[in-house]
Structure 1
Amino acid sequence: MPYEQFDRSRLHLKPLAERAHEIDRSVMIHPDSPCEPFEHESLPLLAERIVESARNERPIIFFCGAHVLRKGNGPLLIDMMERGFLTHLALNGAGAIHDFELAMIGATTESVARYVSEGQFGLWTETGRINDAAREAQHEGIGLGEAVGRLIERDEFPYRQTSVLAAGARLGVPVTVHVGIGLDIIHEHPNFDGAATGAASYADFLVFTQSVSRLEGGVFLNIGTAVTGPEVYLKALAMSRNAARREGRRIAQFTTGVFDIADLGDQLHSEAARNDPRYYFRPYKTVLVRTVADGGASCYVRGDHARTVPALYHQVIAAAKNKQTR
């Protein structure tokens, strides 16, 4: 006999207009916005590799956690897409939700402490439209990111010009969404369909893997995602290398980078011991060490995403200009 399940018809959702938002469009960082200075010895190298990869038509893949968008970096990522310096953007489910809400109402993020106490955390009607997009994605055989981006564009959300999902749909640049069931607020909603979301997110995983399969000579950056990014990348690379070996190819010469706030010390190119807490920080062992052990290069940039991502952006633009003047 099946176990008893929670009846979602008991839930009461409220409109977003009744939610107190912690972030609005004032956080947005545009290409011409003044930026707080940030320097790191690895940024010029990463910028050069990105420009070189773009010139050689190799993949430039960023896997970003939600805080990257919450810090206002969306316009910079969009500009990089438009210039060909970002060929694939991957997000977790929370990143897609923040991008969607910012595009729709110009605000996002709620007080978890307040609303979980009230029993209202995550239960906001309009955000559940992402679940409707998942059903459309399943029906059309496309990924969740593409479906949500199309929705934002089709319904002409008022702030869609700073939405990375909408930009991906508009530009034809893959923006994929990698979901874990039960991790995101819209999974609480009565209209959530686990099968549809699973199918749509798995389609995005295959799109992501296709990009990774061309990573030789390219760049992969893991920015602010401690679990989803490294783990999805690891499986995609394993699949890609399996197929490449059968085809007589190698995927080994590429550059990876991790942007985060953790203090990892100075020894970043060899795996930490199992009794070292750093061993369990996946971006370190997976992105910086294991997956580039066959000939790639890796860099770690430590700092707040509101400083590190704009600094990388401006380094890339400067490197591209230098290439043009030579």
Structure 2
Amino acid sequence: MSRYEEIDLNDITTYSVEDRPSKVHVKDFISDEFVKTNEFIKSLPNILTAKDLKELIRHAKGAIIDQKPIILMFGGHLIKCGLSPLVNRAIEQEVISAIAVNGSVGIHDFEIAFFGKTSEDVETALEDGSFGMGAETGRIINEVISEGFENDLGYGEALGKFIYEERPPYWDYSVFAKAYEYDVPITVHAAIGTDIIHQHPQADGAALGGASYKDFKIFTNIIKDLNEGGVLLSFGSAVVLPEVFLKALTIVRNLGYEVNNFYTAVFDMIKHYRPMTNIVHRPTACGGKGFHFVGHHEIMFPLLMGSLLEE
């Protein structure tokens, strides 16, 4: 038994997400009307970042033709920027082979699916300790993870299965449900203490860790297929996912798999050390190429996907 006292979470005060003001609503999500961007991309100069974007798109189209994986990694802001419908379209059209996310993505995806809204005012809620205390989010996601872990499911598969089978009011916006429906692996790489569901008494550290570790091994198994032409795209998550990718890559190489000559790209609003080092530079030192694009998700993701989806 530990010598140190722990906080007791059983007496926390929660509220219904229904009653919480939220900053993101499905009515503001990307339009269902698909807009092609290939002609626009072709019109750009073959100079600097525009040239890089054209090259990345060529490699991604080549991966689709050659049936090499395109792995999409992203943090919560891709959901909060209203881009779930575009991710789902990419899943449906078999552009995306696998998805890896941090823990915040499952939270925002769940709230969108059940309530059609997400993203609270953190600064205001932090003042009275109500930040992250949405009852449904904390209770249900933790219960789903625990039950899934008992049934040998990873974090992502368990949550996707639950949303898909429950069919909440906005389930068609859910990336997790769509991934489950189309048998696209979606893995959640949790860092204990970083997600609001860890604040709730229903959180089970063993289940969270075990389910996420299972996802890490699923993700690592997918990484081995990047060899000779695969593509890895990263939107946001400047700390957790770059570290996860680096460890997964070294495992598959350690096991004797050839994983070289693939392509990586980071999209974020500013440059960060870990994505530049762990995604763009180090992994492609043995062949292939890494790219970095500075810009907002709500602009850059539709530009990229608009070119890949129209083929």
TM-score under structure 2 length normalisation: 0.92
Pairs within 5 Å for 1:193-212: 193-212=204-223
Is residue 294 of structure 2 the alignment partner of residue 306 of structure 1?
Answer: no
Q: Confirm or deny: 8 A CA contact 2:36 2:307 kept in the other structure.
A: no
Question: 2:191 maps to which residue?
Answer: 180
Q: Cα distance, 1:30 vs. partner?
A: 3.9
2:131 to 121, 139, 144: 121
Q: Tell me: CA distance 1:288–1:31, structure 2 relative to 1, closer, same or farther (3 Å).
A: farther
Structure 2: how far apart are the matches of 1:31 and 1:43? 24
Q: Cα distance, 1:46 vs. partner?
A: 2.0
Question: 2:95 maps to which residue?
Answer: 85
Secondary structure, counterpart of 1:190 in structure 2 = coil
Q: Runs of 4+ in structure 1 displaced over 4 angstroms?
A: 33-39
Which letter does structure 1 place at the counterpart of 2:160?
Answer: G
Secondary structure, counterpart of 2:241 in structure 1 = helix
Secondary structure, counterpart of 1:80 in structure 2 = helix
**Residues 118-143 of structure 1, C-alpha deviations (whole Å, 9 max, x = no match):** 11110111102110111112111111
Structure 2: how far apart are the matches of 1:282 and 1:27? 31
Question: 2:174 maps to which residue?
Answer: 163
Q: Confirm or deny: 8 A CA contact 1:35 1:310 kept in the other structure.
A: no
Q: Tell me: CA distance 1:110–1:286, structure 2 relative to 1, closer, same or farther (3 Å).
A: same
Structure 2: how far apart are the matches of 1:185 and 1:143? 19
Q: Cα distance, 1:185 vs. partner?
A: 0.4
Secondary structure, counterpart of 2:187 in structure 1 = strand
* Structure 1: runs of 5+ lacking an equivalent: 264-277, 321-326
Secondary structure, counterpart of 2:259 in structure 1 = coil
* Structure 2: runs of 5+ lacking an equivalent: 45-49
Structure 1: how far apart are the matches of 2:8 and 2:52? 51
Pairs within 5 Å for 1:38-49: 40-49=50-59
Structure 1: how far apart are the matches of 2:309 and 2:8? 52
Is residue 101 of structure 2 the alignment partner of residue 100 of structure 1?
Answer: no
What is the aligned-residue RMSD (CA, Å)?
A: 1.7
Q: Confirm or deny: 8 A CA contact 1:63 1:223 kept in the other structure.
A: yes
Q: Tell me: CA distance 1:41–1:73, structure 2 relative to 1, closer, same or farther (3 Å).
A: farther
Which letter does structure 2 place at the counterpart of 1:297?
Answer: K
Secondary structure, counterpart of 1:42 in structure 2 = helix
Structure 1: how far apart are the matches of 2:250 and 2:286? 13
Which letter does structure 1 place at the counterpart of 2:114?
Answer: M
Structure 2: how far apart are the matches of 1:133 and 1:117? 30
Q: Tell me: CA distance 1:35–1:14, structure 2 relative to 1, closer, same or farther (3 Å).
A: farther
Structure 1: how far apart are the matches of 2:77 and 2:36? 18
Q: Confirm or deny: 8 A CA contact 1:88 1:174 kept in the other structure.
A: yes
**Residues 86-110 of structure 1, C-alpha deviations (whole Å, 9 max, x = no match):** 0001111001100110011000010
Secondary structure, counterpart of 2:226 in structure 1 = coil
Which letter does structure 2 place at the counterpart of 1:230?
Answer: P
Q: Confirm or deny: 8 A CA contact 2:220 2:252 kept in the other structure.
A: yes
- Number of positions where the alignment pairs a residue of Structure 1 with one of Structure 2: 299
Secondary structure, counterpart of 2:197 in structure 1 = helix
Question: 1:262 maps to which residue?
Answer: 270
Q: Tell me: CA distance 1:313–1:137, structure 2 relative to 1, closer, same or farther (3 Å).
A: same
Secondary structure, counterpart of 1:213 in structure 2 = helix
Q: Confirm or deny: 8 A CA contact 1:89 1:174 kept in the other structure.
A: yes
Question: 2:226 maps to which residue?
Answer: 215
TM-score under structure 1 length normalisation: 0.88
Q: Tell me: CA distance 1:87–1:31, structure 2 relative to 1, closer, same or farther (3 Å).
A: farther
* Aligned sequence identity (%): 35
Q: Confirm or deny: 8 A CA contact 1:137 1:143 kept in the other structure.
A: yes
2:241 to 203, 222, 229: 229
Question: 2:162 maps to which residue?
Answer: 151
Which letter does structure 1 place at the counterpart of 2:153?
Answer: I
Pairs within 5 Å for 1:272-291: 281-291=273-283
Structure 2: how far apart are the matches of 1:7 and 1:301? 44
Q: Confirm or deny: 8 A CA contact 2:75 2:236 kept in the other structure.
A: yes
2:142 to 131, 149, 173: 131
